Amino acid sequence: MPGGDISDLDKNRALVEWLRYQLRHAEKRVRELESAEQAERRRSGLARAEQMWKIQPRRSAETALLHRGGCGLYKSGALIDREAAIGALCEPDIAPCEVCAPETGLRQE
């Protein structure tokens, strides 16, 4: 190293370390953004489910039940819209869930 200059090897080693540092931070940011995106998709899915309803099929002597889309008592991916939920409430063999009260806002009073 004449005159105190840094050698090409040392310069390139420093560059490699800097690039590794940059890569670590970029990968961390990508993970954070992916996590935020997944959380937003979950929130969006839950909000959509809250605007929908679902029907729990009848089992043996039990009555079929109408649930709000977000009700945890019956987990199903089959969601129905407002009109179908209103129609379901008119059926004699479908009762509203007593926990989530899906009939709230559906019945014309």
Domain extents in the chain? 2-47, 52-96
Q: What is the mean pLDDT of the chain?
A: 88
pLDDT of residue 109: 46
Residue 2: pLDDT above 70? no
Residue 77: pLDDT above 80? no
Q: Look at residue 2 and give its three-state secondary structure.
A: helix
